[in-house]
Amino acid sequence: MPNEQIGTCGHAQWPDQDAIQFELEFGIACLRRHCGPEPPGSVLDVVWHEHDLGAYATISLVWEGPGVLFDEDWAYLDRCRKTLAQHDECVDWETLHTIRETRAKESKPAAHAGQRTVSSRRCLRPSPVRLVKPGGERRPPAGATAPPIGARRP
């Protein structure tokens, strides 16, 4: 399938293909967020290229059919290239990998039978909302009276 390279992002190095793939997929997600969806009939994808010294990957716009791009496609590619360059400078890649590794460890099955682990992705319960600073007390607004115990709120 024909494709046009946009670029790369991240700091992962060969032979760590998982880290490279992760960084480029993160870049694709950010491009879709900032540049909008791909032009009809095309998709942003990680494309691997063989080289004498090993393989390397790029973010590319891939499409089916004839190898013809229209003005709107070239405009999208230009926006993506500029955005990807800015994105690469702004992201703290080390912290991003630390978060990814922590989540991967949390989601691995327990080593002992019967032991369970909880992945932060599967926990849908919202965290408690703190209405008062720690050590402070909760006071009703001036002039408000507390409802009797057991009374229903309107």
What pLDDT score was predicted for residue 39?
Answer: 92
Q: Tell me if residue 3 falls in helix, strand or coil.
A: strand
Q: How far is CA 21 from the centre of its chain?
A: 12
Q: Which of 18, 43, 42, 20 shows the shortest CA–CA distance to 9?
A: 20
Average pLDDT of the chain to the nearest whole number: 77
Q: In which element (H, E) is residue 71 found?
A: helix 71-90
DSSP state of 82: H
Domain boundaries along the sequence of the chain: 3-107
Confidence band of 14 (pLDDT split at 50, 70, 90): confident
What pLDDT score was predicted for residue 132?
Answer: 41
| pTM of the predicted protein model | 0.65
Q: What is the pLDDT of residues 84-107, one digit of tens each?
A: 999 988 888 888 888 888 888 888
In this structure, what token pair is assigned to residue 148? Answer: 């009797």
Please compute the mean of the pLDDT values over residues 109-116 and round it to a whole number: 53
Task: Identify each DSSP E strand in the chain by its residue range.
Answer: 3-7, 42-51, 54-63
